[in-house]
């Protein structure tokens, strides 16, 4: 199966970047502008100086990856970076077994990796993009200061803004 950029990224058409980042404002301030959304629900952002940063939603980290958007475009073509940032092999594996994205969806772990889930096909489903960003942002904000290996007994999700996004035309959260 041939995997291209259309399968590895999500169209930004109709996506509200502020809505995606609402639950990540503890890590990403409002000066960042989106550059690219991955099929994995990660986001590449540009700061005021033009540097590109990777918001890794699986690990709850914001990392500088390129000095400029042009530099980023060059780097994303390199196999080692493409494999790390876009996971084409796993996308292909998911597509082969019929797990494909619809508009406004990203791949997301049903049990997030930060809570012990595995990055494996049986733990991955299409998820509404806003739901993915909101849930992961809220989880990472709550666990960011915990030492590795800390047992987590409860995660609390805040709500009205997330529910408002769901009411405004979101038809599917996980699955179909």
Q: Where in the chain does DSSP place strands (E)?
A: 9-10, 33-38, 43-46, 52-56, 61-66, 105-109, 124-128
* Helix boundaries (H) for 22-145: 69-76, 79-86, 88-96, 129-143
Tell me, yes or no, if the pTM score tops 0.95.
no
pLDDT tens-digit profile, the chain (176 residues): 789 999 999 998 889 999 999 999 999 999 999 999 999 999 999 999 999 999 999 999 999 999 999 999 999 999 999 999 999 999 999 999 999 999 899 999 999 998 889 999 999 999 999 999 999 999 999 999 888 878 877 778 886 554 444 433 333 333 33
Q: Are 37 and 10 within 8 A, CB to CB?
A: yes
């Amino acid at each position: 199966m041939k995997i291209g950029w259309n399968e590895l990224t999500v169209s930004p058409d109709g996506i509200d970047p502020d809505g995606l980042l609402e639950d990540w404002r503890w890590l990403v301030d409002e000066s960042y502008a989106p550059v690219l959304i991955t099929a994995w629900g990660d986001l590449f952002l540009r700061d005021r100086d033009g540097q590109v940063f990777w918001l890794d939603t699986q690990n709850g980290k914001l990392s500088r990856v390129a000095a400029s958007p042009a530099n980023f475009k060059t780097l994303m073509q390199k196999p080692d970076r493409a494999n790390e940032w876009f996971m084409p092999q796993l996308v292909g594996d998911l597509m082969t077994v019929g797990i494909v994205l619809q508009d406004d969806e990203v791949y997301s772990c049903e049990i997030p990796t930060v809570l012990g889930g595995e990055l494996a096909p049986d733990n991955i489903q299409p998820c509404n993009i806003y739901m993915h960003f909101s849930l992961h942002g809220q989880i990472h904000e709550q666990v960011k200061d915990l030492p590795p290996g800390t047992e987590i007994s409860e995660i609390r999700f805040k709500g009205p803004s997330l529910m408002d996004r769901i009411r405004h035309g979101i038809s599917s959260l996980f699955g179909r």
